[in-house]
């Protein structure tokens, strides 16, 4: 098929940037979306033009590195990662608009590449259990009801791609933050630091400049891993009970 | 040159305990005077960086991805082995050791493998304490499954995302140390060179992938945890960014590369759909428990199928060749990875491949669905079937799946001693980047185990031994050796940008991949390898005169990043061919057609090849020098595999 | 910064205020509706006028009504604060957005809905509350006691078709606002549970239709009565 691509080009973080149109032809329906961009880039390189920069790595939907706001939706029309989106989801002759994630906390580095280190800093604020290597109890000394383990697992499948932020009209990172807070709040291993974790991670989330949640549900609807909104409710509970009962004045 | 593997004396089961006692310790107050560089933040890198920082060392951690959490360990699906014997089914440290040594076709060190089995139990405890949500039974205890044909259930798993969960655990430990100020993180930073001063590794040169800045970082020790080099084949299940550059730079600085030809090819991957293909996707091996592998019995039927004149469901039972069941009646579709892979290649070479490219075989669930019902199959494999449908557009409940083998893991890597140190003092290699524990073939669910064993439980002990003896004098990063390396790196960048040739980097990478796959892939011959060597030499020449790298250094420049990586892959490719050519036997992930049993099985030559082939770089354009480390087996008896 | 100010400066603290004040205002709507439905009783406004007087003279109700104004104010102020910080979180908008595929229109436009409701509230308060408090109202005598005849100004207002239309349209906006706000407040409070959330969703949806519809019914019926 033949397509028109309207792609955001921006030389670097300080550049203003703008859209540019490209044509690609003979695109196979079996190509992944990123392979289609590979074709475009080979074409651009042949002409001596700078290829379109975009983030990607595993190309199997798990590393969370790929992004792209495609035709008005993060990761495109399906609820999956861009690398798992295939061209059969598009029609011949279609114009596809490709934009970077848009958020203050995700500055554009070049073209479609954004900096998501704000997510790392949220985790650094408390998204862990403070155990050193060695000296831990036997794994089976911590029994965990299967239902709890499964629910914690569901929260833990977050790939940190940032689609939740990209989808949210407020560029809020609550789904991401709540997934980690939830996972550890549900598990016995997370109890010791439970209150402190909630307070610190949320403070960091705010400091990064993400917006607030207005419960539109867009994040969960677009999340490639289907992380549930119940995590946000749980985070809210965790936070409120932490601020009223913790001893951090 | 003689390689000293530094394996401790004494009985196998006591070596590690004894060694831990004998190593020198660094005084707790002095640990903060040492700096350690960790390159790569996968399971090995993240766990090592976190553990060393917890001990008090100052760590700098580097990764080329935008976050340490994205390292390719994240994509491991199946699980992680540990000799916990929670299932009371006869597992033990010795059995895990034995299975691993045997699975590796007797080309690994006994002592290393035993230690791996020994610390495997600690890994599970550590991960659970971190909050890794492993699968559990209704009683709340951990669940296990049998994996990759193992006779015991020793695999711990988190649905099909075990690698992800383990990596996020290690990443969280790493993040905690970043918050504590003990680890400084350098994401989007790529290693360009290893710097040695007075024969010791004292730092690295990096390129900031956003600004292009070439920088020097000095330290007392350097850990390379940079994964495998499967992308030398262009198409593999590795991530797009996975590369050999760190290991190869170290190799060119004197570190030996061991057994580079040992390549694991995974039989159940989604086939290539066309020239545009950029990477291959693995599907869990568990599919072979219920799926039946077949191709049409004749080339004529296969041709009709490829032209789309008939549908696979039209092919009558007698026209189907269930070749694995036919050739291996007792193991059938569950033969080991290498056997399944090779046989798929054979039937496709005969012209009986089933997709448009002729490089695919069927994995059919029709009979399983008839027997157990679609719901049962959906419950077992639903997510895999969905993934397959998403990628191929075919519904595997109605049409047989198509699969083809793909490069998945590389057992070879930097040569390391028992302490995980390369032959360059102070330079370590951990995880898939080293060669140490899997021999010629890796068992399922063992890669995660090795990465975490190295990072959590081996390096924290062994690095102290080296540091305690080497003093904590600091070398400034403007030392002449750093300046010299920096200049070399800048020159190389300038050279790549100045060629301004006709062909893109990917063009060369694809050509290299094809040479490697055709001649140094699933089945190798002396003739093919000789031919490949000449082709790679030619390709290298052409690359350095005709590659087109656009843009500048001082910006985010993905073509330049790839150019560095592909240049190194080309050189590695040549060494892999050399290694495959010299090893006149077949073993595990190295199959030479000249050396097989009458039944077509790998034929080892223990008398002449029971050694580690470590290669020493001898200068630009020179043949590499082979250094042998003999493998001594005192505890296991070498036997021939048979799956008939 | 004390922990209290820190909490209410955090996004979650501010959302908590939005949710709590919102829920109180929802409760107020019910009480207000119950009183207003008396306008439809066929007693020439007697019950309604007595009710209005009793509300105005009850000290408890007066405290609550001050609280009510305060809550409206907090709800408005924090909505402005949050909207501003939310806008700041995405300075560059997408050229193409298909938000309609992932969220409801009301959930994305609470600010606009709220602003319209606020404007209506000003008109509403000027028309009735202000008149009742500070204006010169006709009186009515029941059982020898003199009451302000609020009913009279209400029925006069509702004889004006323009006024009726404003009211009915405003109730439409209120309905949309509630359609998201009701369940959203519970989610913000952390009350999301497999057992109760479906119920909250259903009650919220019903509430968003029934309450504004009954409010809108009053001017419509009264207008028809004047014909």
- What are the boundaries of each domain within chain A? 3-110, 116-245
d(CA C157, CA C161): 9
Same domain, B389 and B506: no
Chain pair A-C, CB pairs under 8 angstroms = 139
Each residue's pLDDT tens digit, A124-146: 999 999 999 999 999 999 999 99
Q: Is the per-residue pLDDT at B151 higher than 90?
A: no
User: In this complex, which of A36, A45, A117 lies closest to B548 when CB atoms are compared?
Assistant: A45
In the stretch 153-212 of chain A, residues with CB closer than 8 A to chain B read: 153, 156-157, 159-160, 183-184, 187, 189-190
Residue C79 vs residues A203, A206, B128, B294: alpha-carbon distances, Å:
20, 17, 43, 64
- Do residue A142 and residue B129 have CB atoms under 8 angstroms apart? yes
Please compute, for residue B277, the number of CA atoms within 13 A of its CA located in the half-sphere on the CB side: 21
- Do residue C101 and residue A69 have CB atoms under 8 angstroms apart? no
In the stretch 118-157 of chain A, residues with CB closer than 8 A to chain C read: none
Contact predicate B126/B156, CB 8 Å: no
Residue C131 has what pLDDT? 87
Contact predicate B283/B269, CB 8 Å: yes
Each residue's pLDDT tens digit, B393-447: 999 999 999 999 999 999 999 999 999 999 999 999 999 999 989 999 999 899 9
- Do residue A109 and residue B210 have CB atoms under 8 angstroms apart? yes
Each residue's pLDDT tens digit, A46-62: 999 999 999 999 999 99
- Do residue A143 and residue B140 have CB atoms under 8 angstroms apart? yes
User: In this complex, which of C82, C98, C108 lies closest to A212 when CB atoms are compared?
Assistant: C82
* Chain A hits for C16, Cβ within 8 Å: 236, 240
Q: How far is A89 from chain B (nearest CA, A)?
A: 10
Contact predicate B36/B52, CB 8 Å: yes
d(CA B115, CA B93): 9
Q: In chain C, which residues have pLDDT < 70? A: 1
- State the total domains in chain C: 1
Chain pair A-B, CB pairs under 8 angstroms = 218
Q: Is the per-residue pLDDT at B99 higher than 80?
A: yes
Residue C111 is part of a domain; what is its CATH number? Answer: 1.20.1300.10
Each residue's pLDDT tens digit, B435-466: 989 999 999 899 999 999 999 999 999 999 99
In the stretch 573-632 of chain B, residues with CB closer than 8 A to chain A read: none
* Chain A hits for C96, Cβ within 8 Å: 69, 71-72, 97, 99
Domain end among B365, B382, B407: B407
CATH number of A116-245: 1.10.1060.10
Please compute, for residue B444, the number of CA atoms within 13 A of its CA located in the half-sphere on the CB side: 29
ipTM: 0.98
Give whichever of B336-350, B376-390, B573-587 has the largest mean pLDDT. Answer: B573-587
Range(s) of the domain holding residue C174: 3-91+104-226
Q: Which of B107, B320, B337, B592 is catalytic?
A: B337
- Do residue C95 and residue A102 have CB atoms under 8 angstroms apart? no
CATH number of A3-110: 3.10.20.30
- Do residue B551 and residue A50 have CB atoms under 8 angstroms apart? yes
* Chain A hits for B130, Cβ within 8 Å: 128-129, 131, 189
Residue B331 has what pLDDT? 84
* Chain A hits for B159, Cβ within 8 Å: 153
Residue C1 has what pLDDT? 67
Asked whether residue C134 is assigned to any structural domain, the reply reads: yes
Each residue's pLDDT tens digit, A67-86: 999 999 999 999 999 999 99
Touching C: which chains, 3+ CB pairs < 8 A?
A
d(CA B370, CA A154): 32
Best mutation target, A123, A141, A160, to test chain B (most B CBs within 10 A): A123
Same domain, B393 and B504: no
Domain end among B386, B407, B428: B407
* Chain B hits for A61, Cβ within 8 Å: 387
Domain end among B357, B373, B407: B407
Tell whether the torsion through CA atoms of B493, B496, B497 and B503 is positive or negative.
negative
Best mutation target, B63, B82, B87, B128, to test chain A (most A CBs within 10 A): B128
Q: Is the per-residue pLDDT at B642 higher than 80?
A: no
Asked whether residue C97 is assigned to any structural domain, the reply reads: no
Asked whether residue B236 is assigned to any structural domain, the reply reads: no
d(CA A111, CA B210): 12
Question: Predicted confidence band at B644 (pLDDT cuts at 50, 70, 90)?
Answer: low
- Do residue A59 and residue B506 have CB atoms under 8 angstroms apart? no
Residue B396 is part of a domain; what is its CATH number? Answer: 3.90.700.10
- Do residue A213 and residue C188 have CB atoms under 8 angstroms apart? yes
Residue C226 has what pLDDT? 87
Mean of pLDDT over chain B: 95
- Do residue C90 and residue A213 have CB atoms under 8 angstroms apart? no
Each residue's pLDDT tens digit, B59-97: 999 999 999 999 999 999 889 999 999 999 999 999 999
Nearest to A248 by CA among A208, A197, A186, A210: A197
Burial of B87 by CB count in 10 Å (0-12 exposed, 13-18 middle, 19+ buried)? middle
Residue B209 has what pLDDT? 98
- Nearest residue of A to residue C183 by CA position? A215
Residue A245 has what pLDDT? 92
Q: State the virtual CA torsion across A213, A216, A218, A219 in degrees, nearest 10.
A: 30
Nearest to C22 by CA among C92, C60, C62, C75: C75
Asked whether residue C109 is assigned to any structural domain, the reply reads: yes
Asked whether residue C45 is assigned to any structural domain, the reply reads: yes
Residue B600 has what pLDDT? 81
Average pLDDT over every residue of B595-611 = 92
Q: Do chains B and C touch (3 or more CB pairs under 8 A)?
A: no
- Do residue B138 and residue A146 have CB atoms under 8 angstroms apart? yes
In the stretch 86-145 of chain A, residues with CB closer than 8 A to chain B read: 86, 88, 109-110, 113, 115-117, 119-120, 123-134, 136-140, 142-145
- Do residue C12 and residue A104 have CB atoms under 8 angstroms apart? no
Q: How far is A232 from chain C (nearest CA, A)?
A: 8
Cβ neighbours, 10 Å, residue A95: 12
d(CA B537, CA B547): 15
Q: Is the per-residue pLDDT at B326 higher than 70?
A: yes
Q: Is C32 on the interface with A (CB under 8 A)?
A: no
Same domain, B400 and B272: yes
Average pLDDT over every residue of B518-522 = 96
Asked whether residue B386 is assigned to any structural domain, the reply reads: yes
Best mutation target, C96, C101, C189, to test chain A (most A CBs within 10 A): C96
Asked whether residue B377 is assigned to any structural domain, the reply reads: yes
Q: Is B50 on the interface with A (CB under 8 A)?
A: yes
- Nearest residue of A to residue C100 by CA position? A218
Each residue's pLDDT tens digit, B334-354: 887 888 999 999 999 999 999
In the numeric block, which tokens belong to residue A119?
């997510």
Q: Is the per-residue pLDDT at B17 higher than 90?
A: yes
Asked whether residue C99 is assigned to any structural domain, the reply reads: no
Residue B168 vs residues A65, B245, B251, B458: alpha-carbon distances, Å:
14, 25, 30, 20
- Do residue C16 and residue A236 have CB atoms under 8 angstroms apart? yes
User: In this complex, which of A48, A86, A109 lies closest to B556 when CB atoms are compared?
Assistant: A109
Average pLDDT over every residue of A92-104 = 98
- Do residue A104 and residue C89 have CB atoms under 8 angstroms apart? yes
- Nearest residue of B to residue A124 by CA position? B175
Q: State the virtual CA torsion across B513, B517, B520, B523 in degrees, nearest 10.
A: 180
Question: Predicted confidence band at B474 (pLDDT cuts at 50, 70, 90)?
Answer: very high
Q: Is B423 on the interface with A (CB under 8 A)?
A: no
B326 is catalytic: no
**H or E segment to which residue B361 belongs:** strand B361-364
- State the total domains in chain B: 2
- Per DSSP, the three-state class of A21 is strand
Range(s) of the domain holding residue B295: 265-407
- Do residue A153 and residue B555 have CB atoms under 8 angstroms apart? no
Asked whether residue B545 is assigned to any structural domain, the reply reads: yes
Contact predicate B354/B295, CB 8 Å: yes
């Amino acid at each position: 098929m033949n397509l028109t691509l309207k792609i955001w080009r921006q030389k670097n973080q300080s550049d203003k940037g703008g859209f540019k149109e490209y044509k690609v032809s003979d695109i196979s329906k079996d190509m992944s979306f990123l392979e289609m961009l590979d074709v475009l880039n080979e074409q651009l390189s042949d002409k001596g033009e700078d290829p379109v920069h975009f983030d990607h790595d595993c190309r199997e939907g798990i590393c969370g590195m790929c992004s792209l706001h495609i035709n008005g939706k993060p990761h495109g029309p399906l609820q999956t990662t861009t690398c798992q989106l295939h061209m059969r989801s598009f029609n011949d002759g279609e114009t596809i608009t490709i934009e970077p994630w848009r958020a203050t906390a995700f500055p554009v580095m070049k073209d479609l590449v954004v900096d998501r280190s704000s997510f790392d800093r949220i985790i650094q604020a408390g998204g862990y259990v403070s155990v050193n290597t060695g000296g831990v109890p036997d794994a089976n000394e911590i029994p965990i009801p299967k239902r709890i383990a499964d629910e914690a697992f569901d929260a833990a499948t977050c790939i940190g791609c940032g689609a939740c932020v990209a989808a949210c009209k407020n560029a809020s990172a609550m789904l991401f933050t709540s997934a980690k807070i939830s996972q550890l709040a549900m598990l016995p291993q997370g109890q010791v630091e439970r209150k402190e974790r909630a307070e610190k991670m949320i403070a960091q989330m705010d400091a990064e400049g993400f917006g607030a949640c207005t419960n539109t549900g867009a994040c969960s609807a677009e999340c490639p891993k289907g992380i549930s909104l119940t995590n946000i409710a749980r985070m809210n509970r965790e936070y409120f009970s932490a601020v009223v009962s913790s001893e951090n004045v | 040159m003689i390689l000293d593997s530094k394996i401790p004396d004494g009985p196998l089961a006591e070596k590690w305990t004894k060694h831990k006692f004998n190593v020198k310790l660094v005084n707790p107050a002095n640990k903060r005077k040492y700096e350690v560089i960790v390159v790569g933040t996968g399971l090995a890198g993240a766990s090592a960086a976190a553990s060393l920082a917890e001990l008090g060392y100052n760590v700098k951690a580097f990764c080329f991805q935008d976050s340490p959490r994205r390292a390719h360990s994240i994509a491991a699906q199946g699980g992680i082995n540990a000799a916990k014997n929670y299932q009371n089914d006869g597992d033990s440290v010795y059995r895990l050791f034995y299975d691993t040594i045997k699975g590796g076709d007797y080309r690994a060190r006994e002592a290393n493998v035993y230690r791996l089995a020994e610390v495997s139990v600690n890994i599970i405890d550590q991960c659970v304490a971190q909050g890794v949500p492993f699968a559990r039974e209704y009683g709340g205890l951990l669940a296990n499954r049998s994996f990759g044909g193992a006779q015991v259930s020793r695999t711990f798993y988190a649905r099909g995302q075990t690698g992800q969960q383990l990596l996020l655990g290690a990443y969280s430990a790493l993040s905690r140390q970043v918050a504590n100020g003990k680890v400084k993180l350098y994401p989007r930073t790529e290693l360009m060179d290893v710097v040695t001063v007075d024969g010791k590794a004292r730092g690295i040169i990096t390129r900031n992938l956003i600004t292009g800045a070439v920088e020097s970082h000095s330290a007392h020790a350097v850990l390379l945890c940079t994964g495998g080099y499967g992308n030398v084949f262009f198409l593999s299940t590795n991530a797009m960014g996975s590369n050999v550059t760190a290991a190869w730079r170290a190799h060119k600085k004197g570190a030996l590369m061991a057994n580079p030809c040992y390549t694991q090819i995974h039989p159940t991957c989604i086939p290539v759909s066309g020239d545009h293909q950029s990477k291959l996707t693995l599907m869990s091996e568990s599919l072979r428990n219920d799926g039946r592998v077949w191709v049409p019995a004749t080339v004529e039927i296969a041709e009709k199928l490829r032209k789309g004149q008939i549908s696979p469901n039209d092919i009558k039972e007698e026209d189907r060749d269930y070749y694995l069941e036919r050739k291996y009646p007792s193991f059938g579709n569950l033969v080991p990875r290498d056997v399944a892979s090779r046989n798929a290649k054979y039937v496709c070479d005969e012209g009986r491949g089933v997709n448009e490219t002729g490089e695919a075989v069927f994995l059919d669930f029709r009979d399983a669905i008839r027997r157990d019902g679609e719901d049962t199959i959906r419950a077992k494999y639903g997510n895999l079937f969905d993934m397959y449908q998403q990628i191929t557009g075919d519904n595997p409940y109605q049409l047989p799946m198509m699969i083809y083998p793909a490069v998945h893991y590389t057992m070879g890597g930097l040569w390391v001693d028992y302490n995980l140190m390369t032959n360059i003092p102070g330079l370590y290699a951990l995880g898939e980047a080293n060669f140490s524990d899997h021999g010629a073939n890796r068992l399922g669910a063992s890669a995660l185990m090795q990465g975490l064993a190295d990072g959590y439980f081996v390096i924290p002990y062994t690095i102290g031994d080296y540091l305690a003896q080497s003093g904590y004098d600091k070398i400034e990063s403007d030392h002449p050796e750093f300046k010299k390396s920096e200049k070399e790196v800048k020159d190389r960048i300038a050279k790549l940008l100045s060629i301004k040739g006709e062909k893109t980097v990917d063009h060369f990478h694809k050509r290299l991949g094809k040479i490697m796959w055709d001649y140094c892939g699933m089945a190798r011959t002396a003739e093919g390898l000789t031919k490949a060597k000449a082709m790679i030499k030619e390709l290298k020449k052409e690359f350095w005169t005709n590659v087109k790298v656009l843009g500048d250094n001082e910006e985010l420049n993905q073509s330049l990043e790839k150019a560095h990586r592909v240049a190194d892959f080309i050189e590695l490719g040549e060494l892999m061919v050399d290694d495959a050519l010299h090893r006149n036997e077949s073993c595990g992930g190295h199959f030479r057609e000249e050396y097989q049993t009458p039944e077509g099985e790998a034929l080892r030559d223990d008398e002449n090849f029971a050694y580690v082939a470590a290669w020493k770089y001898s200068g630009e354009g020179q043949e590499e020098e082979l250094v042998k480390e003999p493998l001594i087996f005192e505890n296991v008896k070498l036997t021939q595999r048979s799956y008939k | 910064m004390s922990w209290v100010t820190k909490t209410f400066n955090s996004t979650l603290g501010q959302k908590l205020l939005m949710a709590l004040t919102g829920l109180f205002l929802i409760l107020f709507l019910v009480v207000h509706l119950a009183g207003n439905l008396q306008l439809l009783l066929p007693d020439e406004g007697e019950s309604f006028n007595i009710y209005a007087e009793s509300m105005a003279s009850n000290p408890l109700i007066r405290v609550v009504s001050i609280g009510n104004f305060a809550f409206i104010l907090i709800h408005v102020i924090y909505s402005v604060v949050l909207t501003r910080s939310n806008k700041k979180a995405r300075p560059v908008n997408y050229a193409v957005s298909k938000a309609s595929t992932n969220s409801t229109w009301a959930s994305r436009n609470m600010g606009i809905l709220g602003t319209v409701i606020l404007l209506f509230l000003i008109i509403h308060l000027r028309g009735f509350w202000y008149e009742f408090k500070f204006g010169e109202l006709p009186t009515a005598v029941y059982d020898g006691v003199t009451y302000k005849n609020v009913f009279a100004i209400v029925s006069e207002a509702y004889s004006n078709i323009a006024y009726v239309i404003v009211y009915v349209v405003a109730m439409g906006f209120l309905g949309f606002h509630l359609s998201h706000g009701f369940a959203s407040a519970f989610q913000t409070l952390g009350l999301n549970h497999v057992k109760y959330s479906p119920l909250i969703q259903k009650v919220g949806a019903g509430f968003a239709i029934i309450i504004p519809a009954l409010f809108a019914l009053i001017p419509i019926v009264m207008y028809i009565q004047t014909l």
